[in-house]
């Protein structure tokens, strides 16, 4: 129980990840309290009912754009999980300044408030779309990653530590392709942008486990990346609606045929840690002599993408994940 007796703040805490993280923390880690920080009072009310008014829960209305509110929310907090973001690719393209204000300036506000309040550890939640980004959402998350990694330079050798987790699509999360296909399967036809498209998939439980691994193992500046399976989007559609017709509609702006979790440039300073990779920072003196081995085990030019992956999710495994026989 690495967070026993700790005060944990989760930005974007009423989202799918925030709810699952809250559930696991309260059930398995005995924190002093969990502060759920979000903009949506209705979702907070629903979450309060879901957790039966657990006395360890605190619900704080606020926006990561508001630096003052974040500073107040982080008073006497030990660990921050920063999950708040604008995540819809199309919405970010149409509202670019709003995406920048939330995803980039929001990250700046989290960093400043954490340092000023003496928070011990901060974990930023990122995405595979931050690697070789081709849309604004991915670009904002790449920038947020860089801010978190280099936020350690602002806090100094003995101050707040910042690290990130980076993973792929969450199975069944709100706004993902799985609920979309579930809604459309009754029509007998599912839209596929390109039959060659592949994606990484992770469950909420795996995402939470990665975050807790990051909290436990982080020195500051790392990006933790899970080893997770890929699936072709056509196979995903067949698994969810085996009788539906697949209609190829063409790739949309901002989409890739495959997603990346590690670029070839990053692989030079990435460690293989068994069940996950850790991309290490390259320019912090406090890393010297910390007992960790140098980056090793990755072939020069290695890229971790959803097409060259050696793990693939079968239709049966996907149904199991979704709780179906």
Beta bridge partners, 60, equal: 37
Written as six digits, the tokens of 65 are 């754009």
* Marked catalytic residue, from 43, 121, 129, 258: 129
Tokens found for residue 135: 């849309």
Q: Which residue has the tokens 């979309």?
A: 180
* Largest distance between two CA atoms of the chain: 60
Q: Which of 153, 147, 201, 173 is nearest to 317 (CA)?
A: 201
DSSP-based three-state secondary structure for 312: strand
The total number of residues shown for the chain amounts to 325
> Measured in whole angstroms, how far is the alpha carbon of residue 181 from the centre of its chain?
22
**CB contact at 8 A, 107 and 82:** yes
> Exposed (0-12), middle (13-18) or buried (19+): which is 186, by Cβ within 10 Å?
exposed
Q: How many helices (H) and strands (E) does the chain have?
A: 11, 16
CA dist 303 to 142, 183, 219, 258, 267, Å? Answer: 17, 35, 24, 12, 7
Q: Is 256 an active-site residue?
A: no
Q: Which of 65, 151, 143, 142 is nearest to 101 (CA)?
A: 65
Using left for φ > 0, alpha for ψ between -120 and 50, and beta otherwise, residue 262 falls in beta
Burial class (CB in 10 A: 0-12, 13-18, 19+), 100: middle
Q: How far apart are CA 161 and CA 152, in angstroms?
A: 6
CA dist 47 and 23 (Å) reads: 10
Active site residues: 129
């Amino acid at each position: 129980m690495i967070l026993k007796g700790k005060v944990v703040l989760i930005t974007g805490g009423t989202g799918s990840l925030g709810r699952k993280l809250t559930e696991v923390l309260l059930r398995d880690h005995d924190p002093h309290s969990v502060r759920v920080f979000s903009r949506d009072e209705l979702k907070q009310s629903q979450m309060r009912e879901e957790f039966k008014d657990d006395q360890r829960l605190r619900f704080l209305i606020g926006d990561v754009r508001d630096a003052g509110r974040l500073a107040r929310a982080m008073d006497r907090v030990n660990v921050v999980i920063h999950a708040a973001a604008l995540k819809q690719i199309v919405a970010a393209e149409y509202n670019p300044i709003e995406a920048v204000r939330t995803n980039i300036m929001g990250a700046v506000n989290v960093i400043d408030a954490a340092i000023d309040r003496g928070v011990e550890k901060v974990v930023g939640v990122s995405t595979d779309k931050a690697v070789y980004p081709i849309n604004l959402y991915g670009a904002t998350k790449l920038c947020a990653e860089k801010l978190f990694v280099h936020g350690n330079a602002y806090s100094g050798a003995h101050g707040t530590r910042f690290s990130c987790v980076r993973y792929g699509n969450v199975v069944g999360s709100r706004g993902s392709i799985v609920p979309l296909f579930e809604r459309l399967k009754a029509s007998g036809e599912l839209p596929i942008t390109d039959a060659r498209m592949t994606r990484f998939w992770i469950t909420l439980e795996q995402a939470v486990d990665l975050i807790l691994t990051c909290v436990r193992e982080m020195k500051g500046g790392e990006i933790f990346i899970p080893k997770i399976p890929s699936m072709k989007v056509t196979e995903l559609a067949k698994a969810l609606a085996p009788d539906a017709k697949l209609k190829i509609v063409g790739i949309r702006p901002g989409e890739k045929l495959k997603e990346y979790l590690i670029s070839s440039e990053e692989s030079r300073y990435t460690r293989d840690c068994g069940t996950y990779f850790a991309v290490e920072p390259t320019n912090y003196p406090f890393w010297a002599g910390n007992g960790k081995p140098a980056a090793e085990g990755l072939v020069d030019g290695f890229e971790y993408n959803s097409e060259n992956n050696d793990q693939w999710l079968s239709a049966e495994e996907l149904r199991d994940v979704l709780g179906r026989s």
